[in-house]
Amino acid sequence: MSASTISAKNVGKVYGGEPPLTALDGISLDIRPGEFVSILGPSGCGKSTFLRCIAGLEEISSGSLKADGRDIAGPPDHVGMVFQRDALLEWRTIERNIMLPIEFAKKPLANYRQAMRELLALAGLTDFGGKYPRQLSGGMRQRAAICRALIDQPSLLLMDEPFGALDALTRDQMNAELQRIWLETRNTVVFVTHGIAEAVYLADRVVVLSPRPGRIADIIEVDLPRPRKLAVRETPEFGRYTHRIRALFHDMGLIHEEPGKVDEGVAA
């Protein structure tokens, strides 16, 4: 499977309206092929907007944004997307949900049956291909959504808070599973999250955005060996990364240590 490069130069996004709203300002970022990048920032800072621009679902207002050297104009080929809500179709079996992108692309389903079986196995869903979404737990549904995003071998996987709706334990497990799947596929991943630990655990680099308008506040290289066990999160090395990010949020006025104050949209 090939892996995409993304090149953002001075990307700005202004939503029209009265008054217009600047969601992104001066975002410059080069994402390497096969890199796993987490985009972390407070609620409303433009994370989803940036992801939607990369997906070609939203037009940028200024700057340049390229995938594999070409300007992004409309959804590029070979992009898989996973959202917070799994968006599985309840009336289709898991297998038929996973095959949806193949049907949309009018490609022969038979050519993808083997790939589907492999993905189901990779996601621990071998026995669930014939079930309906309602027969699966939240974590299993999200794993099926990931299989669907991967079935057409995307070179770029875009994930918008894919585990945000899951309970903490399931979310931990999904983090480990996603890492395992990605180590097999090695496509480029852009992963949007509010969770500091999740961002660090998964990423090669964590891109921290400031409150709106979203600007890059810092980019943190995560130099922890892979595969990473979940227990890595209890090590001092891991703590140094999360501490640095928390300090950044503190400096931006987003985390208040005094009792009684609530952290704004940023989870541990």
Ligand X SMILES: Nc1ncnc2c1ncn2[C@@H]1O[C@H](COP(=O)(O)OP(=O)(O)OP(=O)(O)O)[C@@H](O)[C@H]1O
* Stretch in the footprint of ligand X (CB under 6 A) among 44-52, 69-77, 150-158, 241-249: 44-52
For ligand X, the binding residue among 49, 142, 185, 242 (CB under 6 A) is: 49
* CA torsion, ordered 237, 238, 243, 248, to nearest 10 deg: 110
- CA dist 98 and 85 (Å) reads 15
- CA dist 24 and 115 (Å) reads 38
Binding of ligand X by 20 (CB under 6 A): no
State which residue, 46 or 139, has the beta carbon closest to ligand X. Answer: 46
Tokens of 39: 């985009």
**Residue 44 beta carbon to ligand X: minimum distance, rounded to whole angstroms:** 4
Sheet strand arrangement including 216-221: 79-82, 156-160, 188-193, 36-40, 205-209, 216-221
**Residue 184 beta carbon to ligand X: minimum distance, rounded to whole angstroms:** 28
- CA dist 44 and 58 (Å) reads 16
State which residue, 41 or 162, has the beta carbon closest to ligand X. Answer: 41
Binding of ligand X by 91 (CB under 6 A): no
* Stretch in the footprint of ligand X (CB under 6 A) among 15-23, 118-126, 183-191, 251-259: 15-23
State which residue, 80 or 195, has the beta carbon closest to ligand X. Answer: 195
Q: CA 28, 32, 34 angle in degrees (round to 5)?
A: 140
What residues between 160 and 219 interact with ligand X by CB under 6 A?
194, 212
Binding of ligand X by 47 (CB under 6 A): yes
- CA dist 168 and 98 (Å) reads 26
List interacting residues with ligand X (CB under 6 A): 15, 17, 21, 23, 41, 43-49, 194, 212
